[in-house]
Amino acid sequence: MPGHKVIKNTTLLFSVLFIGACAGGGISDADKALPGGALNVIDASDLNDIMLEFADPEEAVRYFRNSAAQSPDRIDFKRGLAVSLVRAGKHAEAVLVYEAIAEAGQLQNEDRIIMADAYIRNGGWDEGQAQLNAIPPTYETYDRYRLEAIMADRNKQWAKADSFYDIARGLTTAPANTLNNWGFSKRIRGNLQDAEKLFRQALRADPTLFRAKANLVTVRAMRGEYNLPVIPMSDEERALLYYEAAKVAVDRGERDMARGLLGEAVDTHPRYFGAAVDALRALTTNINL
């Protein structure tokens, strides 16, 4: 298992450091004689795994940025920097690093998937599509089909989107986000009943996913069903869901319903719910939300 590999490598790394500390912090003549500085290579490889698996994204960015600056020919440092930048939400910077990896002829299929994701999050839809197109069809992963589905949605290729979402769902043990996105796709198309089914499936997979709860309440309200569904929710979530339903009621011109839902939101929230109070005041004084 991957986790066992990391633990084993971590143990090896700290064993090496401990032995060095016991020897007064120095490096023995035998260590110095290791060909090609083998000790440093082991340390760097283990640290790469640790930083990618466990480190805070910003900390990982600093580590890989410094390592890549010191060893500019090490593709593994550049790859680690690109992945860390994506995790830190710095997608434009990540794209630049991946482009450097591509220029070196070292771009792998997994790199292309993460690069495509970074392009898409940075608004580069065409560039993202080009990276996905460059991946052979036999390379099938959850992230690949998740992005293919998002791309198909953008192009309004609904049959392709459904196919890709279905494949992605089967390639992960945690399908809640995929089901939620698929449901949102159905909502965009106006297929509210299918959207509701998918949001409910998402909540069965992950009862804590609030985005799916909000989406479920929204599609029900779009059909005129304003009562909250029977799903797990805290008092704060219940208030927020009343608020979401109220916004739909306003859009549908049902202002009395909206006022009632906003009143429920204000009364239910365990703390002061400023947004709902302001919305209720706006409705009362005949001002749009």
- Asked whether the beta carbons of 164 and 145 are under 8 A apart, the reply is yes
Per-residue pLDDT of the chain (289 residues; tens, 9 = 90+): 444 444 444 333 333 333 333 433 343 333 333 333 333 444 556 778 788 888 889 999 999 999 999 999 999 999 999 999 999 999 999 999 999 999 999 999 999 999 999 999 999 999 999 999 999 999 999 999 999 999 999 999 999 999 999 999 999 999 999 999 999 999 999 999 999 999 999 999 999 999 999 999 999 999 999 999 999 999 999 999 999 999 999 999 999 999 999 999 999 999 999 999 999 999 988 655 5
Calpha distance 78→94 (Å, rounded) = 10
Return the amino acid letter for 145.
Y
For 249-278, b/e burial (b = at least 16 CB within 10 A) is: bbeeebbebbbbbbebbbebbeeebeebee
Q: What is the pTM of this model?
A: 0.79
Tokens coding 56: 């805070």
Calpha distance 31→42 (Å, rounded) = 12
Instruction: Indicate the CATH number of 57-136 among 3.30.360.10, 3.30.420.10, 1.20.1090.10, 1.25.40.10.
Output: 1.25.40.10
- Asked whether the beta carbons of 117 and 128 are under 8 A apart, the reply is yes
The ranges assigned to domains in the chain are 1-54, 57-136
